[in-house]
Structure 1
């Protein structure tokens, strides 16, 4: 398999950051809709989205995201410059794209251009207006109903990665990012379908890590100088967004700390809020809050405030405790 490598300096590591991308979720979700068999974990979303998109015009967006996905125009999938842009900010930037940049990116598409993409090349100003309107309509129908959960999952992923790096350095940050991603000394290696190349980051840009739900099961690189390069990967726990059944309760652990607390620990495979845990478990909010407080007092949970939401996550002690439970339990 071809391998893309990025060589880091200490300055590059210092500039490495996380960001979320509404446009990234849109583009990768289009790929999911077009090839649901390859993205089985998202099938519950596919069924809902197909119904919601009935009668919605998103043909230009569809023609820009072609399968097999060899290249999606960079202006449609920019590496975020802010850590958590809103869809409104992302669409404003998209609509304001320089026409010369649009033509440059579309020229990289191999083969004959689909009709609406060819029209976008001829008249980028009008085409961008149409494209922004289509993305907005697609977003409202297919992504917006799930955006709060997607944001919380990404925020939990960022929090968990930050804790890993704080205790184990860059090696811990990248250790289980994705099966195709490995870190050795100062070099990040990404297994790639098409690209076999080695790049040395220049010490001024670093890397942007972009957890993207609909990227599952893949991992994608983005490189468009002079902007920061990006690495798009699925956050941990993507399936929990669409699951209706709760996590399995470790029975051995339940006999020691109680079934409810064991279940809450199992549910927190990815960080979650009290509200999410109430929805998943069917327990009352006061009951969940009581048990979360007890688990936190025992050193098994930590909490982190992000905006108005408080996320709970398992501590290393809890991870060790759950790993010690027999696999068949």
Structure 2
């Protein structure tokens, strides 16, 4: 349970983390039945695992229960770079590595003992193992995961701006309850009290889905929650465009208009539509000129959404049979 003062609520921020997804995916590999939604990814990467040494990672990331927090430092920017996150893991103090390794239960005790005996060497090996695993099994899939997480952050940010903390937390997850002062998370968790003056980070996740997770001191207070729409993550290509809409404005523009049901960026649309960013930008320009979409600046990015006219046109089209 966290007690959030008004200044804490004002410091709520969203971020998503390639490293968190990478670490959570190692749990997915150990218990595929828990997350059958990711079976297409598991089937794609399983043949590649034989060339990797993941023993120490699996020891620190058991199928359930506590996993070593130093592997998932809370994101310090809205969209951290994987290499920068990996550097943060590499710089973890050895005593913290040893302490957290001792807390992990249900894995090979001999490997845990080896990590505790030489935490400096262990963090170097683990960092390298994460890098190799990322390159072999995750980097090519990250744009797809990125697009899903980005859409969720944009949706939740708008929800927070329009309805405040009450609306945000009410829709976040059934395990999260906001009383107006206390944020109660239904997870085994020993801390009770206020935040630490550095705000609360909300991190959507596809690979820890459908669970929530929390982190606190000595880390920044962080709540990891399941992303919406995870069932669409491994769909091949964009949804089919309704025939009437496609005939009216073109199939690619129709698909983009449908995708703009949730605010998103040009780069995320390009990945989702399997088009170049330049092509998506041109289509968005036509949709904007026609009054069907509008761009708005959020930080350093321009986010596009449908206008009410665009909503009406999308809703009034019948799908192709």
Question: Does the alignment reach a TM-score above 0.5?
Answer: yes
* Greater length-normalized contact order (CA 8 Å, ≥ 6 residues apart): 1
* Aligned residues of 2:205 and 2:226 also touching (Cα < 8 A): yes
Of 278, 302, 314, the residue aligned with 2:294 is: 302
Of 228, 241, 265, the residue aligned with 2:220 is: 228
Return the alpha-carbon distance in structure 2 between the equivalents of residues 139 and 125 of structure 1: 21
After TM superposition, the structure 1 stretch with the greater mean CA deviation from structure 2, 121-130 or 93-102, is 93-102
Of 126, 129, 134, the residue aligned with 2:129 is: 134
Aligned to 1:244: 236
Return the alpha-carbon distance in structure 1 between the equivalents of residues 312 and 160 of structure 2: 18
Matches within 5 A, 1:98-247: 98-110=93-105, 113-192=108-187, 194-195=188-189, 199-202=192-195, 204-223=197-216, 225-247=217-239
Return the alpha-carbon distance in structure 1 between the equivalents of residues 88 and 266 of structure 2: 35
**Unmatched 5+ residue regions in structure 1?**
none
User: In structure 2, the residue corresponding to 1:243 is in which secondary structure?
Assistant: coil
Return the alpha-carbon distance in structure 1 between the equivalents of residues 52 and 254 of structure 2: 44
Aligned length: 320
User: In structure 1, the residue corresponding to 2:214 is in which secondary structure?
Assistant: strand
> Which whole-Å deviations, capped at 9, do the CAs of 1:66-103 have from their partners, x for residues lacking one?
12x11011212222233333222222222222121112
Return the alpha-carbon distance in structure 2 between the equivalents of residues 299 and 204 of structure 1: 44
Return the alpha-carbon distance in structure 2 between the equivalents of residues 87 and 282 of structure 1: 23
Aligned to 1:25: 21
* Aligned residues of 1:236 and 1:270 also touching (Cα < 8 A): no
Q: 1:16 to 1:274 in 2, by over 3 A?
A: closer
After TM superposition, the structure 1 stretch with the greater mean CA deviation from structure 2, 147-156 or 228-237, is 147-156
Corresponding position: 1:75 with 2:70: yes
Q: 1:135 to 1:288 in 2, by over 3 A?
A: closer
**Unmatched 5+ residue regions in structure 2?**
none
Q: 1:181 to 1:293 in 2, by over 3 A?
A: farther
Q: 1:298 to 1:51 in 2, by over 3 A?
A: same
Of 22, 36, 42, the residue aligned with 1:40 is: 36
* Aligned residues of 2:59 and 2:107 also touching (Cα < 8 A): no
* Aligned residues of 1:246 and 1:280 also touching (Cα < 8 A): yes
Q: 1:138 to 1:186 in 2, by over 3 A?
A: same
Q: 1:319 to 1:210 in 2, by over 3 A?
A: farther
Q: 1:200 to 1:318 in 2, by over 3 A?
A: farther
Q: 1:100 to 1:265 in 2, by over 3 A?
A: same
After TM superposition, the structure 1 stretch with the greater mean CA deviation from structure 2, 55-64 or 266-275, is 266-275
